[in-house]
Chain A
Amino acid sequence: MANPRTKLIAITAKDAGLVGCTRCTAVWPLEQTRCGRCKAPLQSRDERSLSRVWAWWWAGLLFYIPANIYPMLITRTLLQEQESTIIGGAIDIALHGDIAVAAIIIIASVVIPLAKFVAIAFLAISSRRGTRVPGQQRHLLYEAVEFIGRWSMIDVFVVAITSALVQLNVVASVTPGPAAIAFALSVIFTMLSAQSFDSRMIWDQIEGDERA
């Protein structure tokens, strides 16, 4: 185990007066604006990265609220009509005995999105104000957010599949509620928020501390 206090200081492209391409790793003089290899736009540090992160973050949060209040699924059978929210639907499944499936829905639709809001906010705030959490751990957090965030989409797919399936017959019909759209947008916006984050800022800040 490496001592978490030991911090490896590397020379960054920025220190060397160069700019690295985040897409193909090629290195160019600082004044170059477009990568000569893959044509991606070059920017030593994306100054507007944080404002984009926050804009998408707020948009995501804003849509996450109606996603939990309004019904996700409206089920009509010959006898009754039932509306269920994300959490209500998971409880129904759990009461039915499928604890594992209920757990998948709760994790994908409640735990992951909430954890993601907290994680992105923490990364964005700490990259500006500083933190005691080591860069290696924040880097892992960033990778986890990028990797896991997409999985929240599962409940949207479940709604799409069940409504497509069951609507095709007469005895029962299932239609998506407004929460399905709100939730899908919320997931898309938080994915964009995480993508806007310039991960190089995690590392700049640590070394800034070390040198000061």
Chain B
Amino acid sequence: MIDTTDLIACPTCDALWRVAEPKEGERAVCGRCHTVLRAPKEGEATRITALALTVAILLVGTMFLPFLHISVRGFSNDSSIVDAALAFSEGLTTPLVVATVAMVLLIPLSRALLLLYVVAPIALTGRPRRGAATAYRWSEDLKPWSMAEIFILGCAVALVKVTTLATVVFGSAFWLFSILVIITVFQDGFLSRWSIWQTLEQN
């Protein structure tokens, strides 16, 4: 039988490579389809822990602080995302709001918490917690369904649409949310999936 421990298969094109572990800051790329195979970074676990914690806190803030302020002919309204979601439950609005809240808040929050569960113990003690592999798998599966950055652009478009009906101003939660989107982009940039899998395997 062949020893497979130092072999890796490119997840995108199945090309088989013998991997020399790249140094921190370097990348190993598939020679055939150019998918990044390895990209270890210095102090990865600590940095991801910090970022995931920030994301989780900002998300909770975003839920309850006023997101948008609307005013028209004397009527005005401050609404947080939770207010807006709870304000109505009729017809087609309900499934739409549920789906939006899930993709914009709940899935990003679950991802941040799952990542924290995986990475925080590694950063603090060097050893992963039980079930870390499962938690990491879930967080990866959730990634395409986490749509916070798309929501930001949606807010801008909605603002333009509504200006004919009313005056709308962004509230503090909107700005928190924008910061959060930027942090998430950094977090995903720092995240080297394969280093995490290796760490999880070694323990």
Contacts and interface: CB of A to CB of B under 8 A. Distances in A.
A154 interface: yes
A209 to B, nearest CB: 15
Given A29-B4, A166-B165, A160 B97 contact: yes
B144 A27 contact: no
9 contacts: A10-B15, A10-B32, A75-B165, A135-B33, A160-B96, A168-B79, A169-B70, A171-B72, A174-B165
Contact of A29 (B1, B84, B153): B1
A23 B140 contact: yes
B4 A28 contact: yes
A181 B10 contact: no
A164 B97 contact: yes
Given A12-B16, A171-B72, A154 B87 contact: no
Interface stretch (B41-49, B54-62, B193-201): B193-201
Contact of A25 (B91, B104, B161, B194): B194
A49 interface: no
Interface of A: 8, 10-29, 37-40, 75, 77, 89, 93, 96, 98, 101, 104-105, 135-136, 139, 146, 150-151, 153-172, 174-178, 180-181, 184, 191, 195, 199-200, 202-204
Contacts of B10: 20, 25
Interface residues of B, number: 66
A174 B31 CA distance: 53
Contact of A38 (B4, B91, B133, B144): B133
Given A104-B157, A161-B158, A171-B72, A156 B9 contact: no
A76 B76 CA distance: 18
